């Protein structure tokens, strides 16, 4: 039997309800040997039981933690057990296309890249570009500097993209799915756990670029991130903690300190904007066959009550997060 050259580390991004769909998709569409480490962070009992059963059936390592951790804490926890040449960090709400893992490894082998990012789409229909490489632009402002991240074709429908994606050096990738050469961690150390909510991939990429090592974009590897449309009550606490202002501001302070970023740097503004926007889930659309009056009664009234409760929960969880960070 061929020995695995790569380990997949699956960590929770912001919810649990897509766990089964994502995991089964990975096994169905990955046709080369791989090791897998799954970090289960305080998931609800039904998800916990599912992962325990799957870890026994598929013989992967399951790390269960009964409290909430940031994504970089989860990744570092799993890195201790990696024995392969490469590692792929992948979130628990990602789908992959056949051949994705082969393409990432081939790119790393042929280019010597320390990091390889796939063509990352958005939505379960694989129809919209989310990440296709990117660049960092720096501008000096007094003693501090601005950092601007540019992402070509961001959220452009794939059918309307007018450029041909090709393998090429890049500066930016995202943690939805990324291959990293394990030698990287011997030089840069583990991932920075003070970068908790925003900027994790930026911090990793900037560190690797600082070491003068190559990062590549490989469009032959295709994956998609599936954003949540609704949340179950059992995953609400994790979602709001993950996107809390407390975690976000801790990350911003760390990124500003490490990379000498101005308070008004565009990337800092974008971190805060993302937190405010992403934590507000979209309203349900009018369903076919419903009148507007029925829609108001069925959805709008429920939605108003839900919004009030969720806003209170969001404030409470952010307050708890601040207390937790102060007491560390």
State pLDDT tens for residues 186-202: 999 999 999 998 999 99
Residue 88 has pLDDT above 60, yes or no: yes
Contact 255, 261 (CB under 8 A): yes
Report which DSSP code applies to 261: B
pLDDT at 286 (0 to 100): 39
Is residue 171 a contact partner of residue 224, using CB atoms and an 8 Å limit? no
Q: Which two tokens stand for residue 126?
A: 């694989």
Contact 116, 108 (CB under 8 A): yes
> Per mean pLDDT, which range of 135-144, 303-312, 318-327 is the poorest?
303-312
Task: Please tell me which residue, 181 or 245, carries the higher pLDDT value.
Answer: 181
Task: Measure the CA–CA gap between 266 and 208, rounded to whole angstroms.
Answer: 22
Give mean pLDDT, residues 32-40: 98
CA dihedral of 109, 110, 113, 117, whole degrees rounded to 10? -90
Answer yes or no: is pLDDT of 296 > 60. no
In terms of Cα–Cα distance, which of 279, 41, 86 is closest to 177?
86
What DSSP string runs through 82-106?
Answer: --SSEEEEEETTEEE-TTHHHHHHH
pLDDT at position 294, please? 54
Mind listing the domains of the chain with CATH numbers? Answer: 6-225 (3.90.550.10), 233-326 (no CATH)
Identify the H or E element spanning 198: none
How far apart are alpha carbons 102 and 157 in whole angstroms?
Answer: 25
Query: How far apart are alpha carbons 9 and 7 in whole angstroms?
Result: 6
pLDDT of 317 reads 81
**pLDDT over threshold 60, residue 299:** no
This prediction has a pTM of: 0.89
Rounded to an integer, what distance in angstroms lies between the CA atom of residue 130 and that of residue 124? Answer: 12
Listed range (40-44, 142-146, 235-239) with the worst mean pLDDT: 142-146
133-142 contact pairs (CB < 8 A, 24+): 133/168, 133/170, 133/171, 133/172, 133/173, 133/217, 134/170, 134/171, 134/172, 134/173, 135/170, 135/171, 135/172, 136/171, 136/172, 136/202, 136/205, 136/206, 136/209, 141/262, 141/265, 142/262
How would you classify the pairing of strands 6-11 and 35-41? parallel
Asked if residue 67 has pLDDT above 70, the reply is yes
The angle subtended at Cα 22 by Cα 18 and Cα 24, nearest 5°, is 125
């Amino acid at each position: 039997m061929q020995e695995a050259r790569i380990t997949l580390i699956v960590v929770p991004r912001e919810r649990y309800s897509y766990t089964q769909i994502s995991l089964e998709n990975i096994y169905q569409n990955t046709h080369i040997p791989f090791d897998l480490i799954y970090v289960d962070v305080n998931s609800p009992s039904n998800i916990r039981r599912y992962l325990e059963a799957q870890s026994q059936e598929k013989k992967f390592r399951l790390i269960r933690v009964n409290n909430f951790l940031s994504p970089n804490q989860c990744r570092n926890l799993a890195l201790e057990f990696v024995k392969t040449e490469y590692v792929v960090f992948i979130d628990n709400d990602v789908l992959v296309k056949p051949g994705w893992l082969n393409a990432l490894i081939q790119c790393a082998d042929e280019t010597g890249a320390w990091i390889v990012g796939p063509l990352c789409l958005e939505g379960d229909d694989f129809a919209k570009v989310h990440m296709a490489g990117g660049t960092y632009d720096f501008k000096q402002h007094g003693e501090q500097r601005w950092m601007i991240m540019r992402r070509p074709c961001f959220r452009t429908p794939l059918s309307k993209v007018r450029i041909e994606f090709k393998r090429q050096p890049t500066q930016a990738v995202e943690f939805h799915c990324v291959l990293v050469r394990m030698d990287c961690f011997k030089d840069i150390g583990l991932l920075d756990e003070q970068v908790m909510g925003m900027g994790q991939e930026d911090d990793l990429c900037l560190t690797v670029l600082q070491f003068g090592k190559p990062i590549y974009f490989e469009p032959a590897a295709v994956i998609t991130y599936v954003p949540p449309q609704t949340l179950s009550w059992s995953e609400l606490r994790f979602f709001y903690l993950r996107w809390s202002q407390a975690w976000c501001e801790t990350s911003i302070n760390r990124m500003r300190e490490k990379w000498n970023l101005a308070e008004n740097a565009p990337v800092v503004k974008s971190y805060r904007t993302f937190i405010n926007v992403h934590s507000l889930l979209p309203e349900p659309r009018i369903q076919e066959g419903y009148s507007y009056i029925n829609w108001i009664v069925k959805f709008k009234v429920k939605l108003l009550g839900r919004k009030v409760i969720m806003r209170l929960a969001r404030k409470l969880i952010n307050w708890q997060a601040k207390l937790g960070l102060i007491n560390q």
